[in-house]
Amino acid sequence: MPKTLEGQITMEKTPSYFVTREAPARIYAMSRDTKLIVVVRDPVTRAISDYTQTLSKKPDIPTFDSLTFKNRTTGLIDTSWSAIQIGIYAKHLDNWLQFFPMSQILFVSGERLISDPAGELGRVQDFLGLKRIITDKHFYFNQTKGFPCLKKAEGSSKPHCLGKTKGRTHPNIDPEVVQRLRDFYRPFNMKFYQMTGRKFGWDD
């Protein structure tokens, strides 16, 4: 980490931290005052998105359905598949709460980042003790991508959108498989809502 002066905030982003068993202890050892921000989204959509990304790099991987189930007949979900495992947020959060209090962890809704980016970033600015300077006027909605984009990136006169790996069209997944996954995740989601004190609306 770079040296940080009084009044500065140093940020670093690594998606795999949240699901890496050793990460909480290591970060705590580095600085127990660290504030943690985690963007989460509906675990079913997340798993399909994860699969879509892998499929774009390895077109010959097995189907989503065959990777999802240990046994399709009994409907037993394969929790060893990382695309499924990552979405069991309550389990990962348990690991972090051994080291950090909930007051130092902010969960950002991936869905609300799209539907209300300024509102969700307002929560981030409050959490970091920053003045709310990011508002609706900083964004425009990109119809092609289906995402909000920054009207003007810092130090640039051009708008900034998420990269080409974001907003890919998902393959069609059997609705029965999607329903099985919804049923599988529901108890974990409920526990997660309880732990965070926030309903993310994935089971509505």
Q: Which residues are annotated as a binding site for 3'-phosphoadenylyl sulfate?
A: 41, 49, 166-170
CB atoms within 10 A of CB 143: 7
- The string of DSSP letters for 57-90 reads H-TTSPPHHHHHEEETTTTEE-TTSHHHHTT-HH
Q: What is the DSSP letter of 36?
A: E
Annotation: binding site: 41, 49, 166-170
What is the C-alpha to C-alpha distance for residues 64 and 132, in angstroms, rounded to an integer? 41
Strands (E), the chain: 36-40, 69-71, 76-77, 105-109, 139-142, 147-150
Give the angle 190-194-198 at the CA atoms, nearest 5°.
95
What is the C-alpha to C-alpha distance for residues 17 and 30, in angstroms, rounded to an integer? 14
b (16+ CB within 10 A) / e for 14-27: eeebbbeeebbeeb
